[in-house]
Structure 1
């Protein structure tokens, strides 16, 4: 039985696209980057922490239980842009991303009661057009940046800001479907839409 350790409606929607049955779990873990922790390592750790927290909620479950955890962060110049604390923080993030290319790092961790421990990482490069201050103000006022890593949602209005995307669109949304499908297939789950071959 597969469980998704995430409160994100976006991740639940993406996982459902793979045609696999799963049960969502609400988990709360601290998302705080340690001093000196590399950005990519931080994203991988948070994904693993979420999966571990989900597995801990299922202590009485039988064998065959699998828990999927994922984390997605925007990275610019080695700095991790998490979810903006308020509109001012969202504004600052967007102005820094304006006219630049940043990374979106999305890690997926799969843990199981039977000793399953797998992880995959998707790194995408997203280029933004230069953003006018009025554009940023209007976007922040729309409310869309709230709760979004980097202060934007590529599946929303912010798609108009993107001039180039190299990598995984679903990864930028929050769950890289290719890597996720491969992890689940390797763990023995029947995934109708997993590619026959590939690397996670």
Structure 2
């Protein structure tokens, strides 16, 4: 979509439309908690493969910025909000699980240990100015039995999720301890997002 596709209802508004560079219902729901409804969505189709030697933190920041720029090409003149969430185990970037084998391997790796979730937010202004923020959350999983992993796999919540789990679902029962942003683990850190939007003059709840 483009910024011109956003209806104005005949009312002049000096603010550019806010476009969310994601089709994720999770991010839309989280944004709504701030009292913000995006004027449109422009899902960014980019290569999310890690660069050689890239660490989880840098990967999240780079992808959020890349998504914002890709969406800007679809909605020129808009204010673009993009985010990316990466699960890291040490220096290792865990994939988004697209099959059961990947999800199972991720859960086995995270079982009984701490890991970090990096959730980056990028806000791209119509003039090309880019503002970024990052939340870092430490999550500790209980030791998972084979039966628990298989039950979670059967539930299907893992599909398309970084690290093979969704904290807002059954996997929250695996989380014995969390330090940081729960919303960041879900997919959009609200504290950081609020600050970026407030600085851009977007009305908030």
Asked whether the two chains share a fold, i.e. TM above 0.5, the reply is yes
Runs of 4 or more above 2 Å deviation = none
- What TM-score, normalized by structure 1, do the two folds share? 0.91
Find the counterpart in structure 2 of residue 74 from structure 1: 87
Which residue, out of 1, 19, 27, partners 2:44? Answer: 27
Aligned residue in 2 for 1:43: 60
Check the 8 A contact 1:12/1:24 in 2, yes or no: no
Number of equivalenced pairs = 188
Aligned to 1:90: 103
Deviation at 1:5, TM superposition (A): 0.1
Tell me which residue corresponds to 2:138: 125
**Gap runs ≥5 in structure 2:** 1-16
Question: How big is the shift at 1:12?
Answer: 1.1
Q: Show CA shifts across 1:23-53 (max 9, x none).
A: 2222211101000122211110000011111
Could you tell me how far 1:155 is from its partner in structure 2? Answer: 0.5
Q: How big is each residue's C-alpha offset from its partner over 1:71-124, in whole Å with a ceiling of 9 and x where there is no partner?
A: 001100211112113101100110110000000000000001124310000000
In structure 2, C-alpha distance between the alignment counterparts of 1:58 and 1:7, rounded to whole Å: 14
Matches of 1:158 and 1:15, distance apart in 2: 22
TM-score w.r.t. the length of structure 2 is 0.89
5+ residue gaps, structure 1, are 193-200
Q: 1:8 aligns with which of 21, 24, 34?
A: 24
Q: 2:33 aligns with which of 10, 17, 28?
A: 17
In structure 1, how many angstroms separate the alpha carbons of the residues matched to 2:105 and 2:97?
9
Matched, 1:187 2:200: yes
